[in-house]
Amino acid sequence: MSDHYVKVKVQLEQMKSFGEDAEKQGVDAEEQVPVSSPSAPDSPDPSSITIPATDASSTSKHKGKSRSKPGKDDKNSSGKQISDLSSHGSVVSAHAEKNLNKLGYERTLQVKGTGKILQGKLETNGNYVNIHASKNIQETRREDGFKLARKRRPVTVDTSKAKTSLEALKLSIKQLKWKEFPLGRRAACDIYWHGVSFHDNENIVSGQVNKFPGMIEMLRKINMSRAVRTMQELFPEEYDFYPRSWILPEEYQQFSTQIRMVKENDATVNPTFIVKPDGGSQGDGIYLIRDPSDLKLMAGSQAKQSVVQEYIQKPLLIDKLKFDIRLYVLIKSLEPLEIYIAKEGLTRFCTEPYQEPSQKNLSHVFMHLTNYSLNVHSGNFVHSDSQSTGSKRTLSSVLYRLAAKGVDIKRVWSDIIALVIKTAIAVVPELKVFYQADIPPGKPGPTCFQILGFDILLMKNLKPVLLEVNSNPSMRIEHEQEVAPGVFEYVPSPVDEEVKVGVIRDTLRLMDPGHKKPIISHTRAGGFEHGEEIPMEAESQERSPDEIGSLPSLCLKQVYPKYTKQFNYLRLVERIAALFIRFLGVKGNMRLGPTAFRTFIRTCKLSNSNFTMASVDILYIDITRRWSGAMPDSREAGMGLQAFVEAFFYLAGRRFKSLALREQVVSLLELCEAQLGPQSGVEDRRSLSCSRALPRAIKAQTLCLTNPQLSSPAPLRRAASQDYRLHQRLKPRTLRANVEN
């Protein structure tokens, strides 16, 4: 990881100096006017009007119980504090950020001696489009743009299914001066805001929905653990931010054997584990154990699906209390992948001073679990209107406090950004499978975006750990309070309002259909190659000042494709998913049938005399059967993506025995993609290739965060990347002989 930070820093420095150079050349990027896209050179689109990105410090803050006035800047001390923090908090320093904003998304360079302005627009697909235009034409276009913008109808939002996010959504729409349809609308709306799932409103054929199909399923604890574990197998070091986890009851044996071995090897090791029911939320059903024998396993159909996870014993404490971070992340699009992180988040505090787990305190939920829904019932819970005290605080107030103690906040932010991008990369492949099933290409349908709630714990050594990702983070801006003995009422929560209204409003701004989508010349799900320049910002997302009044600058910061260069090499499973989707065949399917699997093998020329089609069938049956057992509630028969990935790893291991798992997978991907050719619909091989990003052989690493002895022994890991992986763990011996032929 340290290499990564150095790289990020160097790039930022380079870009910063580029900004300074540009300034020296007399370029004032804030003065520049927009250029229309090359596809429509003569019709200026008001959406391309660039409102100069202002410094983060202009973010409006308000305090107290009163509702915020749209666009009103409150320059009180708390606002100052937060602005300071957001500049701390950003990976980009305030100074660099300013320069980068000046550089902006569009660049203007004076061509010496010609008097002409050479203007370029950096598309989010990485293309830098040069456009020559005289200053007068630009000015005319700007005026035309403003006129058009004034005439444009307001964006329409269907809020009929918004449920608990309604209050914050209403405020956001009001601030934007958009039009709300609280009871829905016969005609299509631009945006549909759902409280729970993509399917809250059926039959949407256009516009944008704030949920992705499959997100709920994908982020359930077991699925999420599986997705991250697959990435841990490929990239153990990069994915060491997720505690070691086992899926129950399926992996009970592995869990208890591993823990017994660890304890036998070193009697001083005394790990603790946290057990979380699969569908649970708000701390429901969670408990801590110190030994596998303490698991409350029930037999047969009673057996509860859950995840047991290494418990982080040394969290960072503030005021002797454990706390976690709720970070809001916007997945703006899957294809191309676009991720934004809210600069402001929440921190939720425990209400009983923390002690390392012991047999005595294991059941003290107010000490170990940071869930608001639990702690709010503790007598010690402090409701506070201040953002920096109480049991729920803004993230910036906590970071500010840490910074005052000398903590390197930029580093913490940088680690958090990396964690978010890597987690998204882990879940995106399966999301794409869900997406194509619900909205097959060619069929009319909406596009999707979604706000996710990342729960992150900081360890004592400041390393962020991912606890879980919520597909439906609470967007409530009021909280339940006991106003009289035994009488509970919902009262406004200024801290929640401060953070959540900003997140919803700015998500809407980013999704404003009046703005041109970045032009993607061809599908490049993998983004940019190493060595290509990272675009610093997406296109200007602001409407004209006439329309929006004085809204604060966006509280959402683009991190992908911004940091594509650093993370693109991790997107291997997405390439496997692209193959999978290609062979799914019938639209709407999510699972491969045996014939489709055979077709995949044949088309990619993976069978030979040593691996006959009969072996292929056995492999299919074996893996599919095992996975259908692991996912008892799965409705469709056949091979799902996770099973296909397992099969792919197996095939890669067979074919490229001498390599480490990661290289095996890359090699097989390249082989398959080469067979399918450029027309395949599989992402651009060149841009997706990760071979240059694999400088090191996989070391014998630990997956474990706090207790290296808990991780798989190195020989086991090596074995896991070979044929052994499939057969030793999953198959009866007789079958193995058949498959290996």
Contact stretch for ligand ADP (CB under 6 A) within 75-83, 180-188, 278-286, 356-364: 278-286
Contact stretch for ligand ADP (CB under 6 A) within 182-190, 275-283, 471-479, 641-649: 275-283
- Residue 278 near ligand ADP by CB under 6 A: no
Give the C-alpha distances (Å, rounded to integers) separating 225 from 276, 467, 643.
11, 10, 15
Distance, CA of 117 to CA of 99 (rounded, Å) = 20
- Residue 371 near ligand ADP by CB under 6 A: yes
Distance, CA of 385 to CA of 374 (rounded, Å) = 20
Distance, CA of 87 to CA of 305 (rounded, Å) = 43
* Site track for ligand ADP across 295-334, x = CB under 6 A: --------------x-xx-----------x----------
Residue 212's identity, in one-letter code, is F
Shortest distance, position 170 Cβ to ligand ADP, whole Å = 27
Nearer to ligand ADP, 273 or 580 (CB): 273
- Residue 243 near ligand ADP by CB under 6 A: yes
3-state secondary structure of 728: helix
- Taking phi over 0 as left and psi of -120 to 50 as alpha, with beta for the rest, 197 belongs to beta
Among 22, 274, 418, 616, binds ligand ADP (CB under 6 A): 274
Cis preceding-peptide flag for 594 (omega within 30 of 0): no
Distance, CA of 57 to CA of 97 (rounded, Å) = 11
Among 13, 237, 284, 319, binds ligand ADP (CB under 6 A): 284
Phi, psi values for residue 509, rounded to 5°: -60, -40
Nearer to ligand ADP, 272 or 624 (CB): 272
- Give residues 429-468 in contact with ligand ADP (rule: CB under 6 A): 455, 457, 467-468
* Pair of tokens at residue 109: 């360079």
- Residue 82 near ligand ADP by CB under 6 A: no
Integer Rg of the chain from CA: 26
Nearer to ligand ADP, 33 or 703 (CB): 703
3-state secondary structure of 580: helix
Name which of 314, 496, 316 is nearest 399 in CA terms. 316
* Pair of tokens at residue 630: 């692991």
Name which of 674, 675, 687 is nearest 522 in CA terms. 687
Nearer to ligand ADP, 366 or 648 (CB): 366
Please check whether residue 739 is in contact with residue 622, taking contact to mean a CB–CB distance below 8 angstroms: yes
Distance, CA of 555 to CA of 540 (rounded, Å) = 14
Shortest distance, position 414 Cβ to ligand ADP, whole Å = 22
* Binding residues with ligand ADP: total (CB under 6 A): 20
Other beta carbons within 10 Å of 278: 18
Distance, CA of 324 to CA of 728 (rounded, Å) = 39
Nearer to ligand ADP, 274 or 337 (CB): 274
* Pair of tokens at residue 247: 């899926």
Shortest distance, position 380 Cβ to ligand ADP, whole Å = 16
Contact stretch for ligand ADP (CB under 6 A) within 50-58, 225-233, 282-290, 511-519: 282-290
* Site track for ligand ADP across 464-493, x = CB under 6 A: ---xx-------------------------
Nearer to ligand ADP, 52 or 283 (CB): 283
Strand partners, 274: 288, 309
Shortest distance, position 193 Cβ to ligand ADP, whole Å = 23
Nearer to ligand ADP, 368 or 731 (CB): 368
Nearer to ligand ADP, 348 or 524 (CB): 348
Contact stretch for ligand ADP (CB under 6 A) within 117-125, 368-376, 399-407, 426-434: 368-376
- Residue 280 near ligand ADP by CB under 6 A: yes
Nearer to ligand ADP, 312 or 330 (CB): 312
- Residue 124 near ligand ADP by CB under 6 A: no
Shortest distance, position 69 Cβ to ligand ADP, whole Å = 34
- Residue 356 near ligand ADP by CB under 6 A: no
Shortest distance, position 430 Cβ to ligand ADP, whole Å = 19
Report CA 714 to chain centroid distance, whole Å: 30
Shortest distance, position 244 Cβ to ligand ADP, whole Å = 9
Shortest distance, position 373 Cβ to ligand ADP, whole Å = 8
Please check whether residue 56 is in contact with residue 93, taking contact to mean a CB–CB distance below 8 angstroms: no
Among 171, 219, 227, 286, binds ligand ADP (CB under 6 A): 286
Among 282, 293, 355, 595, binds ligand ADP (CB under 6 A): 282
- Residue 281 near ligand ADP by CB under 6 A: yes
- Residue 351 near ligand ADP by CB under 6 A: no
3-state secondary structure of 21: helix
Helix (H), strand (E), coil (C) string for 662-721: HHHHHHHHHHHHHHHCHHHCCCCHHHHCCHHHCCCCCCCCCCCCCCHHHCCCHHHHHHHC
Other beta carbons within 10 Å of 727: 18
Strand partners, 209: 192, 448
Strand partners, 275: 287, 308
Give the C-alpha distances (Å, rounded to integers) separating 43 from 138, 151, 153, 378, 399.
12, 15, 18, 61, 46
Shortest distance, position 383 Cβ to ligand ADP, whole Å = 19
Shortest distance, position 274 Cβ to ligand ADP, whole Å = 5
Please check whether residue 326 is in contact with residue 348, taking contact to mean a CB–CB distance below 8 angstroms: yes
- Residue 369 near ligand ADP by CB under 6 A: yes
Nearer to ligand ADP, 160 or 305 (CB): 305
- Residue 283 near ligand ADP by CB under 6 A: yes
Residues forming the site for ligand ADP (CB under 6 A): 243, 274, 276, 280-284, 286, 309, 311-312, 324, 369-371, 455, 457, 467-468
